[in-house]
Structure 1
C-alpha cells in the first residue's frame, strides 16, 4: 500500500490541477490530451460517464507521449478492471465500497477514493489510504471545511473536486492538506467541440500557474 500511495502522489504532484474530462467522441481524446500535456497538465482523469470513455483512455495511453491517463467515476470492480486493462495509471472514485476497495487491493494501479466526512476519511485510513478525493468539494463545505479537517485528521492529503474553478482553486491549493485539485474548466465543452486545441493549451498553462 505504501508503494501505491507513493506512486499516486508522484502522479498528483505533477501539476496543481488534474483535468476532469467527459469525452463524448473518441476522436477528441488524443488531440485533447496532447493539448493538455502541451500546456503542462500531464495527469488526465477521463471519467467513465460516456460509452467511449474506455476507448478514449486506451487511445491516450497508446498515442499521447507524456500523458498519464487515469479513469474517473469508477464505481465497481468491473469498472476498475476495465479501466486498468485500458491503460489507466490511476483510478478515481467518488466514494468507496467494500467491493471497490477489494478490487484496489488486488490491482497494481493506485486508487484515489472519494470522501466527504470525517467518518469516511477515518474508514479509509483504516484501509491504508492517506490520499483521498474530497468530493463534492464546494457542496460539501468548500475550502473552509477542508481546512478544519487538517488538524484532527493530520497526515491525510486531499484532491478536492466538484465545483472547483479558477476563482476558488487557490483557496484549496493554499491548504496544507491539499496536494492538487480536480477541475473540468481546462477543457470546456465548447472548445472541445470546436477543436480549439490551442485554446485548451492556454487554459492548461494558466492552470499550471495556480501552483503555490
Structure 2
C-alpha cells in the first residue's frame, strides 16, 4: 500500500521509517522542494500539493495549529484516506479546540469528499516506534465516518504494533484530542517517562 506523509518534521520522518520497514512505498510531502533538508534515498519527496496523487493513505503530520493551511493546496484529495494524528495545541501546550469541534472534524469539512480518520494522536513519537509498555500493546483509538477507510486504517495501526479499537465517527475526534493532553501534560510538561499509554481491556 502506498502511503504519503504530509510534513517532514520529526513525526513525519519517524513514520516514514516505520512504514518503509513494514514494506510500504512512502512519499513525504514538503512545503518547498527547494528547501535544504536531509533526504533518504528510499523515500520519494513531493510538494504538499501532490501528496494525494499516488497514495492510498495520507498521514497529516504537521503542527496541529497549522492544518488548515497545510491541506488547502492538496490536489485531487477526493476518495483518499487521510489519517489525522494532529492535536490543536497552542502555546504552553494549551488545547485550542475541543468540546464543540476538533481538528479531525475541521479537516473533514475542508476535505469533504475524502475519508478522514482520527488516530495515532494519543501517544508521543517515542511510542509510535515501540507501541508497548511492560510487554503490553498500547490501545490506539480510531474515529472516522467511512467503515472501509476505518478498517484499512485499523489494519495499518495493527501492523504498526498497536491494539487498534474503532470508537465511532469523526466527531469522536473532539474527545480523542483532549485525551491526548493527558500524555502531553505528563510527558512533555512534567517530564515524566514516555513509557506509558492507554491499554483498553476488553
Compute the TM-score of the two structures, normalised by the length of structure 1.
0.34
Larger proportion of helix: 1
Larger proportion of strand: 2
For CA contacts below 8 A with separation 6 or more, give which structure has more relative contact order: 1
